[in-house]
Amino acid sequence: MAQRPVALVTGASRGIGRGIAVELARTHTVVGTYRGNREAAESLRREAGVEIFACDISSAADRQRLIDFVRDRFGRLDLLVNNAGIAPRVRRDVLEATEDSFDEVLAVNLKGPHFLTQLAARWMLEQGAGRIVFITSISAYTVSLNRVEYCISKAGLSMSAAAWAQRLAPHGVLVFEIRPGIIRTDMIAPVEQLYEERIAGGLLPLRRMGEPADVARVVRAIADGLLDYCAGQVIDCDGGFHLRSL
């Protein structure tokens, strides 16, 4: 049995997930999943001592293998961070977007974390405690016409988080949603310069792009129990993007 609390972070090898895994590794035994990029996962293991596990979150068999691994190896699960997500392979206008792209993005970004949470929630209910974090996006409510499937997946994931928060809170399992904004990761690399220009022009009140560490600090507060009475809360980590003004 693990003595330290155990955290499971999906999509941990790069970007926001990596930042979260590194932060949590200071206090938790961390299992980080990856899909395909073994080199990035191995570098995370070396850097932070994270236990890495190859897993396609869209696969029911892989999700079960993952939970079985954590249970067999560590005997407990204190925190699940649903972070794994993909962008469309090709950005296409909504008039040209394909069903194959839609199916792939929703399988990874929505179906996978929803049903991984089901497995984790059943276990946490046995334990009588646990915390679950959904990493969604400002795309849950902000339309990008050249990647609508991504926006739909994040909007759906936001509802999944709300449903699980409502279902689990009475039993001591606390669920939170974090909506990152424009965060410096591989996913936005192709349009990073455009975002930098728009931020300088006033897109964000804070006038800077976010970093994975910004999101990781919010997860830290949740992991430490500082936000427990805020169960079900949507936390905007977006430099003020969500603010409106005239």
Interhelix angle for 99-106 vs 148-168, to 10°? 30
Task: Please tell me what DSSP assigns to residue 37.
Answer: -
Q: Catalytic site residue 150?
A: yes
**Residue of 34, 141, 150, 229 with catalytic role:** 150
SS3 sequence of the chain = CCCCCEEEECCCCCHHHHHHHHHHCCCCEEEEEECCCHHHHHHHHHHHCCEEEECCCCCHHHHHHHHHHHHHHHCCCCEEEECCCCCCCCCCCCCCCCHHHHHHHHHHHHHHHHHHHHHHHHHHHHHCCEEEEEECCHHHCCCCCCCHHHHHHHHHHHHHHHHHHHHHHHHCEEEEEEEECCECCHHHHHHHHHHHHHHHCCCCCCCCCECHHHHHHHHHHHHCCCCHHHCCCEEEECCCCCCCCC
φ/ψ (deg, to 5) at 51: -80, 120
The catalytic residue positions are 150
